[in-house]
Structures are given as structure tokens and as C-alpha cells.
Structure 1
Amino acid sequence: MLSADRMRAHLDNARRHLDTARSHTGRVATATGTAAATTGLFTTAVMGESLLATLAATGLGLLVLPTHKARQPEPEKVIERTADGGMLVYTPPAPPSHQGRTAAVLYATPGVGLVGVLIAEWIVPGFHWGEALAVALWSAGTWLLRPARRARHMLVPPLPPVEKVHDLVVQDEPQLYAHPAAQWWAERVAIEGGAAPATVLEDVEKTGESAMRAIIRASIPGEPVPDISVRRLSALMDVPQDLITVGPVPGRGASVQLLTVGQADAAALDPARLWAERIAPLAMPGATITAINLGSMNLSKEDA
């Protein structure tokens, strides 16, 4: 069962279709009247039929014109004294609506005008420039001004047009990131035409007073991180080029890259910490470094 809102929507849609059909009918009637009046400039063979058709169409239109929907003036109450000294209060019948009469006259204007043009063509023999001018004025005025349609809309205002969905432009809200560096990257670097389009900055970690490292990930799954110009990053960050590096992430594919900026502190460069935080979770989960031997290997020619 349809709800009240859906039922109202269907009725409004039907009203719009009916109004469109009336509009097309009015256009056809205007074109037919123009053809009849133009024919009357040269011959009166069909003059009688044209007059009867015009009168019939105008009369039928006036019969179905909803003049009962015109705004009625509020009648005033009348107070009269009766013979026995009492008071009689009554409301007289409402006077005829001025709006209804105006709409009827406006609706009949095209038909009456066409009848006048046809009668003039019938009376004046032969072709006359005044008749041609009258036909042109009636045709242009009726086509452009549309008095009958205006009269109907005066009584029954048209419904507002349906809002088209494709006229609405839906704009995606910009994504917000928790880390300020990631947000800055999305707004300045990852934009179309930027230094690293279609990328996001993740796992941002501060490694020193003016140093950081982070993971650059391609926002499209399965796509590699595009070639990133260190020169452009240097210009955007206002950091010397030799302090910016972009390279592969150990144990990962080309869809991620490691970004380092600045000189990391000694604690951040500790091999055990680097292994535990950056390498082991990706390449060898669960593995730990138990000892680190620092030295060099010198091979002599005999050993080789």
C-alpha cells in the first residue's frame, strides 16, 4: 500500500504530465489558428468551418476552465434590527470573483481575436496587407504571451519543477588524517600534479629534533609508488635535498617507499631498535637480535 507521501508524489507527477499535455495542445491550437487565418488571406472556401471550430474550441475551453477555484472575497457580516427589537446577523452570498472573470476574459482573448481576424478576411475581398499584419500580430502574440495558459495558471498555480538529481554536484569531503605531517602530505604533495600524486603518508615517526621517517604508500592497491622528485619535496618542505631520501622498505614491494628527512639521533639509528621496530615486523616476525658484531673482513689473495 502506498504511503501518503508517495501517493502525493504520484498525483503531483500526473498533474505535471497533464499540464505539459495542455501546453502542447495550446501550441497545436495556435498553429492551427495561424494556418486557418493564413488560408483566409487567399480564399474563403473554409472560412465557415474555421469560424465554427474556433468558437467551439473557445467555448469548450471556457466550460472546463476551473473558475470555481478563483479566490473569493470574504463577505462581510450584516447586522439588522428586527421589528421586535432583536438583532439579525447573516452573511450575504459572496459576490462573483473578480479573479475568475479576469481569467475567463484572458482565456477567451485568443479565440475572440482569431474570430475577428477571420470575419475581417471574410468581409474584405482579396488580399490586403492589413489582414496579413493582423494575422502576424495574432500569431506572434498568442505564441509568445500564451493568454489561455496564463489564465489557467492564474486559477491553478503550476507545481514547481522537479529538481534534477544530475544537476546536483556532490563533492567528496577531504579525508582527515590524525598526524599533521600526513595531513600536510595529502593537501600539498599527494594532490593531482603534486610531487607524489595518489599516495598517503603512514607510520610517521620522529627520529630527531628536526628529523622524521615515514612510509609512503600508493593509495591505489596494486599500484607502485610513483617516482618522487626529491628536489620538489625539498622545495615544499624547505629542507636541503641531501637530508631527504626516498627508498625501498625492507621486505616490502614497490607499493610502499621509505621516506627519511633530516639527521636521525643516535638512538634512532640503533641497529637493535631498527630491527625490532622496522624490519622484523615486516620481514621476519618474531625474530630478535641477540648480538651485534661490528668489524671488517679482510680477505687476502691466498684466502680467496
Structure 2
Amino acid sequence: MPIALPSIDRIKTAIANTRNTAGRAGTLTGAAVLTASVVTPAATLGLVPAVLSTAAGYWMSVARHGPGVPPWLKGMYLAPTAALTAETIAFQLVPDVHLLEYGAVAVWAGITWWVRPAQFARDQAAKVTPSTGAGEVLPATSVPQIQTTGPLDARLASWWQAAAAVEGGIAPHTWLEQLRVAGPRDWSAQVVAPSGQPVPALSIERLSALINCPPDLIHIGPVAGYGTGRKQVTVGKAAAATDFPSVWAHQVAPTAMPNAQIVRIRRGSTATGHWEEVTAP
């Protein structure tokens, strides 16, 4: 017969209830030690298990969250035991028995029971962002959002930022300019790197895998008039074009002569001397 294991939530609840019960028991024990120390010095020996249990709890509940936990939160966790120790020692230094000593016991027990400083510190420490050093909190990592509505060029630019320009992508820290988009597999754009830096080596194979497009439909080359900080990427029909008007329109004009069009073509052979002029389709 299979044994049903308890859920994670039930285990967490059981651990929380156990900690709560242990904290209440510790408060009652501390109050008993304080009360007894008013009349007998031997009661101060009760501080030993209190200090040891507090040290163990501090290590497991606060210190394990790293140096990102602020000092005041650490001090709050240790405050009940520190106050208990200070009062117990003070009672031994004061001769005779005074009603104020019992008042101090009541104040310590009341604050510890109702405020629960150690529990508050433990819960807050669990929410602290992990850090790399004292006071140096790691910045939250922002994931670029892919735009799914609006103009195609804006949607392509947002996709590039989220899929290609991230750390580990095919072109980290780059962005797209001069976009011309007809569809997911029919577009051209200039890949631009930060000032003074070259565009990372773009691999047709990696871009092909990223956009699920055949490699022979992808063309990557330099941008006329610019250094290695820009590269021209053409995908789809434009990259596969072989006739001169299409090659000019999709691979030459966008970078060398924007908005220029081929209207007539003069073709022929120097060997035969025959030339003709035709209108571009």
C-alpha cells in the first residue's frame, strides 16, 4: 500500500508551528530564569542553554541569508537573549531583593511575548535579497518584454532585444536600426553595437536556429560607409534574391543609397558589342 507523503505546504506549516511553540517556551523559560535569579545566584546557569539555543537559531534563521541582512535586523534577533543576560547579571550585582527587579522581569517577558522581535527578525531576514558583499545588493534582473502588437518593425526590435541581445544571445548588447519588415521570415535591419565596440561575430547558423529559417535565406554583411559597429542582416526573399533589381532593393540600397530605385537596366556583352536597355520589373 503506497504511503502518502505530506505536501510541502504542510511541512512548512509544521516547521512554523514548531518554531512558534519553541519561541513561546523560550520566553517562559527565560522569565523563569530571571525570576529565580532574583533570589538565587545559581539560576544564572540557566543562561547557558538560552545563549546556545539563540546562537543556533541565529545561525540557521538569520546568518544563512548572507551579509545582505542589515545589522539592525541581526541585533533585533539577538536582543531578547542579550537583555535576558544583562538583567540576570545585574540582579546579582544588586544587593537584597527589590520589587523593581520583578518589574524588570515582567517588562522583559511582556515585550518578548507580544512583540516577538526574534520572530520578526527571522521573517524579515528571509525576504532579504541575496548580496555579493556587505551592503552590496544584487540588482534585480529585468527581462525584456516582447511586443506582440503594433508595427512589425517595433515587434521585431523588441524580439531582438529579448532573444538575441541578451547575455548569452547571438549578439549581446546590440539593437536593430533601419528595419524593413514584411514578415517573420522576410526582413532586413542593421545590427548596431554600443559606441566604440564592434558587433559580435554573427553566425548565420545560430541566427538560422534562433528564427527557424534556412541558412540560404539569411545574408549578413557590412554596412557601406560604417565600421564594424554595424552589420546588415537580411532574411527571407531579399536574401535569396538573385536578379539585379531585387539585390539592389534589398541588399544595396538600404545601406548605400537609401530610397534609391532601379528603373532601367542597360545590359549586354563587351565581346559582342550588343547592348540593350530594359525597364526594371
Larger Rg: 1
Point out which structure has higher relative CO (alpha carbons under 8 A, 6+ apart).
Answer: 1
TM-score (normalised: structure 2): 0.46
More helix per residue: 1 or 2? 2
